[in-house]
Amino acid sequence: MHVHRYERIWLVAALALIVLFIGTVTYGAVGAGYGMVDDTGGEVDPSNPAASDNFREPGVYNGSEPDHYDVYIEAKQFLFVPGTSEPVRVPANSTVTFHVTSTDVMHGFEVVGTNINTMAVPGQVATVTVEFDGPDEYGLVCNEYCGSGHHTMEGTLKVVPESQYNGTSGANTTSSNTTMSGGNVTSTATATSEVN
């Protein structure tokens, strides 16, 4: 069978385009460090995540390392706890692991202007670990449509200078296992952390 030369050229070009498109989609899905919310964060009871071993009362906790912090955030229609009514505060030059879950429907958790972006899935905990250098302030937004108030679902993340993180006001007291901004201070604090 004779195929005209130009027909062959366009056939090859069309096949090359298909391969290119599949390649870009594949790279976008798995190649750039993206991943699905998986089981690494563990499962929780969506109606009461803090009752699970995989989650704690929402707030900021000093981790096992002095400059490592764990931030537990509940997303719900239509706010982040903490984040919306009060900013999430973490010190500069720290490593922070966000543990994000939802207590009702699917939400998004995006720290604007960064590559911190995950879904908040009821019953599952999404974990994202990041490093913060200098002090800064970021917006938090929900980027999954979650109901009539979706467009109002936002919050604030403040990366404050380390000196300010050890501030003297009651709400900013830092010690191990103490909730920083969730409002529910746990009473198991035994050691004073060294943030500076």
Pairing of strands 68-76, 94-102: parallel
Whole-number minimum distance, CB 122 to ligand CUA, in Å? 12
Whole-number minimum distance, CB 185 to ligand CUA, in Å? 27
Is the CB of 72 or the CB of 78 nearer to ligand CUA? 78
Whole-number minimum distance, CB 138 to ligand CUA, in Å? 17
Of 107, 155, 156, 157, the one binding ligand CUA by CB under 6 A: 107
Q: Interface mask (CB under 6 A) for ligand CUA, residues 120-159, using x and -?
A: ----------------------x-xxx---x--x------
Q: Could you say whether residue 78 binds ligand CUA (CB under 6 A)? A: yes
DSSP state of 122: B
Whole-number minimum distance, CB 195 to ligand CUA, in Å? 31
Q: How many C-beta atoms lie closer than 10 Å to residue 103's C-beta? A: 21
Of 135, 92, 144, nearest in space to 117 by CA: 144
Distances (CA, A) of 26 to 20, 29, 37, 121, 128: 10, 5, 18, 24, 22
Tokens representing 35 are 């991943």
Helices (H), the chain: 5-26, 162-165
Is the CB of 143 or the CB of 177 nearer to ligand CUA? 143
- What is the binding site for ligand CUA (CB under 6 A)? 78, 107, 142, 144-146, 150, 153
